[in-house]
């Protein structure tokens, strides 16, 4: 019998930021907790199908970062990856999450690794989906993008080119063998939020701060070696930004990690939910045991 999770959609104040989040309401109060950290240019809605499928057995919690989705930050909020991590750390505290696994995807990796550095005793395990932490996981195009700096001729225009409907849609379709399997809901909803007042400026600021993540790779790799958390890697191998070598690189620091590569692009859950969801469920069961 198919069991679809009950879900709740809430807001919580974190230091003046009104954080929207969705969470499943599992059948058991002691269900394992999985914090779902979304990527660019999306928000918590990218996990809606995963929550439906797994949320009856596990407590899945998916917040929107400041500048994304339905989360609202006050005027003057500084959009940086440290700033996003500050809000997510406060979010974890407000919800009283003392032990949880993290699903880190794209921007979720730099946010999640910052959380892991700050709260190592709370991290039960990591599910890594196209969340890069290694130099070899950067494509040439990604390296060129990360090298952009404010004030350079054409730099801001290049960033803003990714924030158009064409740019947003291409992030979903590039690397996907049959784009017709993709529901258009993801990129159209992403674009709706990107087009709200102030959102493009937030994304430009984050794009220019992305170099801070690459500069932190050595620290994050050291964290993995030191803490040796259980790790499940599920990766779209044809990602134009973070290619498959970035997935394999994790095995240097966590050689016992479980690795699965899929013939798809950046948003692997959009095409391979049926394959990925059982892997996540089995991983959470192992972590719980």
Sheet order of strands, 100-105 included: 7-14, 17-24, 59-63, 33-37, 100-105, 123-129, 231-236, 258-262
Query: Side-chain half-sphere of 222: how many Cα atoms within 13 Å?
Result: 6
Per DSSP, the three-state class of 279 is helix
Q: Is 6 in a helix, a strand, or coil?
A: coil
Catalytic residue among 38, 211, 260, 266: 266
Q: How far apart are CA 257 and CA 226, in angstroms?
A: 14
Please compute Rg for the chain using Cα positions.
Answer: 18
What are the CA-CA distances from residue 43 to residues 38, 82, 142, 155, 281 (Å)?
6, 18, 21, 25, 22
Q: Is 266 among the catalytic positions? A: yes
Terminus-to-terminus CA distance in the chain, angstroms? 25
- E strands present in 153-274: 231-236, 258-262
- Region of residue 143 (phi > 0: left; psi between -120 and 50: alpha; otherwise: beta): alpha
> What are the φ/ψ torsions at residue 162 (nearest 5 degrees)?
-75, -15
CA nearest 129: which of 286, 273, 288? 273
Active site residues: 266
């Amino acid at each position: 019998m198919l069991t679809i999770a009950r879900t709740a959609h809430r807001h919580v104040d974190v230091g003046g930021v009104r954080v929207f989040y969705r969470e499943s309401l599992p059948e058991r109060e002691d269900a394992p907790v999985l914090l779902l950290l979304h990527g660019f240019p999306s928000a918590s809605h990218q996990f809606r199908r995963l929550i439906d499928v797994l949320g009856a057995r596990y407590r899945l919690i998916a917040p929107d970062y400041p500048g994304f989705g339905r989360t609202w930050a006050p005027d003057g909020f500084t959009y940086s990856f440290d700033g996003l991590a500050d809000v997510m750390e406060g979010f974890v505290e407000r919800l009283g999450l003392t032990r949880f696994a993290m699903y880190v995807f794209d921007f979720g990796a730099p946010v999640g690794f910052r959380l892991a550095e700050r709260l190592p005793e709370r991290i039960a395990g990591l599910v890594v989906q196209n969340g890069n932490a290694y130099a070899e996981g950067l494509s040439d195009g990604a390296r060129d993008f990360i090298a952009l700096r404010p004030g350079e001729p054409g730099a801001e225009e290049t960033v803003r080119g990714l924030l158009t409907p064409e740019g947003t849609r291409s992030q979903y379709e590039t690397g996907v063998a049959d784009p017709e399997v993709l529901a258009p809901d993801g990129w159209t909803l992403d674009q709706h939020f990107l087009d709200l007042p102030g959102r493009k400026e937030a994304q430009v600021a984050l794009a220019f701060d992305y170099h801070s993540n690459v500069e932190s790779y050595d620290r994050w790799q050291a964290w993995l070696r030191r803490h040796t958390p259980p790790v499940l890697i599920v990766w779209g191998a044809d990602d134009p930004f973070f290619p498959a070598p970035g997935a394999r690189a994790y095995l240097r620091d966590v050689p016992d990690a479980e690795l699965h590569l899929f013939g798809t692009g950046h948003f692997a859950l959009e095409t391979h939910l049926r394959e990925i969801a059982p892997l996540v469920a089995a991983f959470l069961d192992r972590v719980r045991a």
